[in-house]
């Protein structure tokens, strides 16, 4: 059980680390598009790792209800499809409205 | 789409919806099974044309190749995150964003959507526009290396083309 708990803790920590990086990137990057790079990608992997940790925890501590792990797996699949689609929709809308991408050497916006 | 293909689509959609219901409910008594059957039937009636478009060619080898593509894609996502994390945490923020365009040989809806989502998930690139007729992509890249991955190497385009057999 100790091995399982340690593995779960490591997965949750790495997941939270990437979510944290996403938040820092949102604050540090200079414009709309680059900020979406930071939040979009880091959230996808961060959430994925956290849910994998939850799946392992549930499998070993509550083996009586295996369907819950299947539901969590579905959650990962939906996040991995919905997240890039949502980023694309945001970027496309901004590009259509004429938001200029930031270039090297310009000031922050 | 002729009648035979439509029937095939309805059957497949109903089976998938009912399986999904069973997994989500997890209760296998008569009441829940009948309710699930009715709900699946309603969903099938509305949306059977969306999920299965005709009988399609060589669905099985394509699905197998897609299954082989997914682990590679997952590894690319991990690389993407490490790369973005490095650029976020680096004191000087080594980014040099640019918008690039390139044409691919892909034409199918599913193939284009797969490539577009893969591009958005992998290192430093986001899909802005896709022009289905020419297979043309507009991509926002975070730095020169990311742009070159699509303009020079073209690994991902090749892999998606291989999965959907569209060269």
ipTM reported for the complex, 2 dp: 0.77
Q: Which residues of B touch A91 (CB under 8 A)?
A: 126-128, 140
Q: What is the pLDDT of residues B75-117, one digit of tens each?
A: 888 887 888 888 888 887 787 888 888 888 777 777 888 888 8
Q: What is the pLDDT of residues A53-82, one digit of tens each?
A: 999 999 988 888 888 888 899 999 888 888
Give the residue with greater pLDDT, A6 vs B58.
A6
Q: Where in chain B is the domain with CATH 3.30.70?
A: 59-164
Q: Give yes or no for residue A88 having a pLDDT over 60.
A: yes
Question: A50 falls in which pLDDT band (50, 70, 90)?
Answer: very high
- In angstroms, the Cα distances linking A59 to A14, A56, B19, B83 are 20, 5, 22, 32
First-to-last alpha carbon distance for chain B, in angstroms, is 25
DSSP readout, chain B? --HHHHHHHHHHHHHHHHHHHHHHH---SHHHHHHHHHHHHHHHHHHHHHH--SS-SSHHHHHHHHHHHHHHHHHHHHHHHHHHHHHHHSTT-----EEEEEE-S--SHHHHHHHHHHHHHSTTEEEEEEETTTTEEEEEESSHHHHHIIIII-HHHHHHHHHHT--
Across all residues in chain B, what is the average pLDDT? 81
**CATH of region B59-164:** 3.30.70
Question: A11 falls in which pLDDT band (50, 70, 90)?
Answer: very high
* pLDDT score of B51: 67
CA distance A37 to B153: 21
* pLDDT score of A85: 86
* pLDDT score of A15: 92
- In angstroms, the Cα distances linking B29 to A88, B22, B32, B35, B98 are 43, 11, 6, 10, 58
Of A49, A54, A40, which is closest to residue A85 (Cα–Cα)? A40
Check CB contact under 8 Å for B88 and A38.
yes
* pLDDT score of A16: 93
Query: How far, in whole angstroms, is CA B68 from its chain's centroid?
Result: 14
Query: How far, in whole angstroms, is CA B55 from its chain's centroid?
Result: 19
Check CB contact under 8 Å for A33 and B120.
no
Check CB contact under 8 Å for A104 and B24.
no
Q: Where are chain A's structural domains?
A: 2-96
* pLDDT score of B52: 65
Average the pLDDT over A11-29 and give the result.
89
Option in A21, A37, A80 nearest B124 (CB): A37
State what percent of residues in chain B have pLDDT above 90: 7
Average the pLDDT over A8-17 and give the result.
93
Q: What is the pLDDT of residues B37-62, one digit of tens each?
A: 999 999 888 887 776 665 566 677 77
Q: How far is A3 from chain B (nearest CA, A)?
A: 24
Check CB contact under 8 Å for B89 and A21.
yes
Q: What is the pLDDT of residues B127-138, one digit of tens each?
A: 888 888 777 888
CB B124 within 8 A of CB B148: no
Check CB contact under 8 Å for A101 and B78.
no
Option in B26, B87, B99 nearest A101 (CB): B99
Residue A102 touches chain B, beta carbons under 8 Å: yes
Option in A28, A84, A103 nearest B121 (CB): A84
Q: How far is B11 from chain A (nearest CA, A)?
A: 22
Q: What is the pLDDT of residues B12-26, one digit of tens each?
A: 888 888 998 988 888
């Amino acid at each position: 059980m100790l091995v399982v708990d340690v593995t779960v803790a490591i997965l949750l920590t790495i997941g939270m680390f990437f979510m944290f990086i996403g938040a820092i990137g949102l604050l540090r990057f200079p414009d709309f598009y680059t900020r979406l790079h930071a939040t979009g990608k880091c959230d996808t992997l961060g959430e994925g790792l956290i849910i994998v940790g939850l799946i392992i925890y549930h499998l070993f501590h509550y083996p009586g209800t295996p369907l819950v792990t299947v539901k969590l797996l579905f959650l990962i699949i939906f996040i991995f499809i919905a997240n890039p689609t949502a980023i694309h929709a945001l970027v496309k809308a901004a590009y259509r409205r004429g938001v200029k991408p930031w270039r090297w050497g310009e000031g922050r916006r | 789409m002729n009648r035979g293909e439509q029937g095939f689509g309805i059957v497949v959609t109903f089976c998938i919806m009912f399986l999904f219901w069973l997994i989500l409910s997890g209760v296998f008594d008569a009441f829940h099974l009948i309710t699930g059957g009715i709900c699946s039937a309603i969903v099938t009636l509305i949306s059977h044309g969306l999920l299965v478009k005709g009988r399609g060619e060589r669905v099985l080898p394509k699905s197998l190749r897609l299954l082989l593509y997914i682990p590679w894609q997952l590894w690319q996502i991990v690389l993407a995150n490490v790369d973005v994390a490095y650029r976020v945490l680096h004191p000087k923020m080594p980014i040099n964003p640019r918008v690039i365009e390139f044409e691919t040989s892909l034409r199918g809806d599913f193939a284009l959507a797969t490539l577009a989502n893969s591009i958005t998930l992998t290192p430093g690139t986001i899909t802005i526009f896709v022009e289905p007729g020419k297979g043309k992509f507009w991509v926002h890249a975070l730095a020169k290396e990311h742009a070159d991955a699509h303009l020079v190497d073209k690994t991902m385009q090749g892999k998606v083309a291989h999965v959907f057999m569209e060269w």
